[in-house]
Amino acid sequence: MYSSLSNVFKKPVPTAEVYPPSVPQVESDFYFQLLSDYGIQLNEPQKAAVKAVEGPVLVIAGAGSGKTTVLTSRIGYMIHTKNIDPSRILLVTYTTKASLDMIERLSRIPGINRTASRSVIGGTYHSICLKILRSEGYSFTVLSSERKKQIMIKTILKRIGRQDDYTAEAVLNVISSWKNSMKRPEDIDAETEMKKELITVYAKYEELKEKDNLFDFDDMLLEVYKIFKFSPEILAKYQEKFQYILCDEFQDSCSVQYEIIKMLASPSNNLCIVGDDSQTIYGFRSASASYMINFHKVYPDCTRIIMDINYRSGPSVVGLANAIIHNNKKQIKKTLKVANAENHEVQFSHPQTSDEEADEIVKDILKKQAAGMELRDMAVLYRTHAIGRAIFEKLLMADIPFVTYQKSNETFYKNTFIRPLLALLKLSHNYSDTDSMIEAAPILYISRSEMGQVIEEVSYSYGEETPKDLLGLVMKRIADRKNGFQQKRLMAKLGAIQSLKKMTAPQAIREIRKGTIDYEKQLELDERKRLTISSEIIYETLDECEQAARGFSTPKAFLNFIQRVEEKNEEMEELRMQPDIEAVRLMTIHTSKGLEFEQVYAIGWAEGILPHVSSLDMEQKADSHSSPEELLEEERRLAYVCLTRAKKYLSISSPKMHRDQQVQISRFLEEGLNMNTREVIAHV
């Protein structure tokens, strides 16, 4: 059960310094008096950020430090006090919603009418680049559909005979990473056979788009970069147009975005970048904290302002976050203070397993709900989707409304590496399930196209009635076409599938993973299937599936439960469209950035989960060039982001067991309490 962190470890939790509340006063500057009358009281660092208009400006906006208020107030100051033409101001945001929100808030500032606010050019990097390309006469169709892009990649993979070896999503991630680093196919060295294949897919993808006059989002950035670099007269036109540039969430910028902004801001360099290097957590999207950290090297005359007063969280939450992030070597040093003196102690739990962890959270949610807290004010944050599996299912069984947030809105059981495994479980109970036969084909070292073709051949020979033992007939026909060793191996795998229904659900999964079928060996041998994802994340996902199956006496019972989970997820599709729905929020830490909640449950704070084991190994991914030190520092930034989402209540839990092995409490918690591993184990 949850207890205060200080009681569990017999050590006080670091607390942030409380910033004295600002007393309303008559401002010497008329504009700040206008803001004050409007109810906007800015502290000294915020005022400095508002007034620093000319030249390069770096604003380090700590978590909860009023970044949006400062940005809108700064634009208002530029228009109202500095008489800058609003149409000469460019506001670059990370999301369209952020841009619209800021423009709307700007229109409500005294002295700024709606016409002036709407004259400010605002948008994301992609939307701004799209406007530039349209202005330069480019006529193309925007390829915005992820599904269409994946179909294009699948078509290319099929043409080169690699349709079963790569996922379209992984290939698109690699291509996007290359584009964000300003690399075309001809710029990439084909060091390995796999890289050669990926370059081929990249080139053919570009050919398909060019044929249909399509631009994806990355293309818009690359094309504008190319125009600015090789057409100085066009660049000069936009440099004249956008004389003052403000970039929000700059820590999330990638190489091509950074280069575009640098060129656009030159030569006057009236460039204000706002962000927090401690919240750079999108390294997999090519974002880098170095752009902010080294800003003063690129612009030696820059004005640097640190907004270090947090208006969101209490002293214990911010104090713990400060103590953790201070351990990063590559950062702009700052120590956040808090404006809110009300303090709620950080809670901690050390359950045996992730399922017990989820049970404790469900009890605490019900307790807080009974005390009057709304479900929409509670969030459960986790490092990976696999870690969120247990709380998803426990909330489902407790009938507590909840919504999940992820890119595809699919459940854990739709994972690329889980689907083939579940297909074999289905086949063990239904030998004529053709969809599952095609899904599971690669596990059996059969291509999906061959499996589909033989299914058609056998089905045709039996007429309209599908044979009950279709799987056996198909496997035998395929085996007859192989040599002796391959025949024996295929028939052994058929026997293994048929035996699964006699096992418990976890036994069946383990048999698929490590028995005659030996799914894990296939994954180890095929690096293409592990593209953009480490082996450890795959094994974690498989382990979590086996953990979920415990308690189900048969594979059929487990499959029935999964069906219930899928139905619940379909119900949530409508809930996700309602932002104020009364439901607990479930999301990864990555998704939570920029959000805040009254109550945060930070789960899985154990070694191998956070920091994740994938950041601790030495394996080099195709889309990553980060050193082990850089990977670990990004994990620490993830921990920092996780903690600073909590407005009042923060509950951290660290299961003792993970993937059937005992694990230690996260080093980040040890760092926050300034304790070593031995001390932590002794206290818990």
Name the least confident of 91-105, 482-496, 574-588.
574-588
State both tokens at 674: 């300034």
pLDDT at 417 exceeding the cut of 60: yes
Name the least confident of 234-243, 522-531, 596-605.
522-531
d(CA 440, CA 424): 6
Confidence band (pLDDT; 50, 70, 90) for 394?
very high
pLDDT at 238 exceeding the cut of 80: yes
Give the per-residue pLDDT at 307: 96
Name the least confident of 109-113, 234-238, 316-320.
109-113
Sequence-distant (≥ 6) Cβ neighbours of residue 203 within 8 angstroms:
185
The top-scoring range by mean pLDDT among 364-373, 481-490, 579-588 is: 364-373
pLDDT at 677 exceeding the cut of 80: no
Mean pLDDT of 623-651: 89
Give the per-residue pLDDT at 371: 96
Name the least confident of 119-128, 222-231, 276-285, 595-604.
276-285
Give the per-residue pLDDT at 571: 77
CA 45, 51, 52, 53 dihedral sign is: positive
d(CA 541, CA 5): 30
Give the per-residue pLDDT at 681: 53
Confidence band (pLDDT; 50, 70, 90) for 484?
confident
d(CA 340, CA 342): 6
pLDDT at 330 exceeding the cut of 80: yes
Instruction: Please name which of 628, 653, 610 lies closest in space to residue 390, comparing C-alpha atoms.
Output: 653
Give the per-residue pLDDT at 465: 80
Confidence band (pLDDT; 50, 70, 90) for 565?
confident
**49 and 74 Cβ atoms separated by less than 8 Å:** yes
Mean pLDDT of 641-664: 94
pLDDT at 622 exceeding the cut of 50: no
Give the per-residue pLDDT at 466: 79
pLDDT at 23 exceeding the cut of 80: no
How high does pLDDT run on average in the chain? 90
Give the per-residue pLDDT at 49: 96
On the question of a cis peptide bond just before residue 611, with omega within 30 degrees of 0, the verdict is: yes
pLDDT at 680 exceeding the cut of 70: no
Residue owning tokens 């944050």? 381
**66 and 338 Cβ atoms separated by less than 8 Å:** no
Confidence band (pLDDT; 50, 70, 90) for 320?
very high
| Run of H or E including 292 | helix 290-293
d(CA 500, CA 96): 50
Q: Decide which of 26 and 263 is more confident.
A: 263
State both tokens at 499: 């035996």
pTM of the complete model: 0.89
Q: Are strands 271-275 and 244-247 parallel, antiparallel or unpaired?
A: parallel
pLDDT at 621 exceeding the cut of 50: no
Residue owning tokens 């036969």? 437
Percent over 70 (pLDDT), the chain: 94
For the stretch 527-543, pLDDT in tens is 777 676 777 888 889 99
Name the least confident of 282-291, 381-390, 416-425.
282-291
Percent over 90 (pLDDT), the chain: 66
Q: Decide which of 678 and 132 is more confident.
A: 132
Give the per-residue pLDDT at 11: 87
Mean pLDDT of 162-170: 86
Confidence band (pLDDT; 50, 70, 90) for 409?
low
**62 and 305 Cβ atoms separated by less than 8 Å:** no
Q: Are strands 657-658 and 661-662 parallel, antiparallel or unpaired?
A: antiparallel
pLDDT at 299 exceeding the cut of 80: yes
Sequence-distant (≥ 6) Cβ neighbours of residue 293 within 8 angstroms:
277, 330, 331, 332
The top-scoring range by mean pLDDT among 281-295, 349-363, 487-501, 620-634 is: 349-363
For the stretch 91-119, pLDDT in tens is 999 888 888 888 888 888 877 888 888 89
**163 and 529 Cβ atoms separated by less than 8 Å:** no
d(CA 630, CA 283): 9
**351 and 360 Cβ atoms separated by less than 8 Å:** yes
Instruction: Please name which of 13, 24, 74 lies closest in space to residue 49, comparing C-alpha atoms.
Output: 74
What is the DSSP track for 483-524? Answer: -HHHHHHHHHHHHHHHHGGGS-HHHHHHHHHHSSS-HHHHHH
Confidence band (pLDDT; 50, 70, 90) for 623?
very low
Give the per-residue pLDDT at 614: 80
d(CA 345, CA 95): 34
Give the per-residue pLDDT at 207: 96
Sequence-distant (≥ 6) Cβ neighbours of residue 367 within 8 angstroms:
none
At 173 the three-state DSSP class reads helix
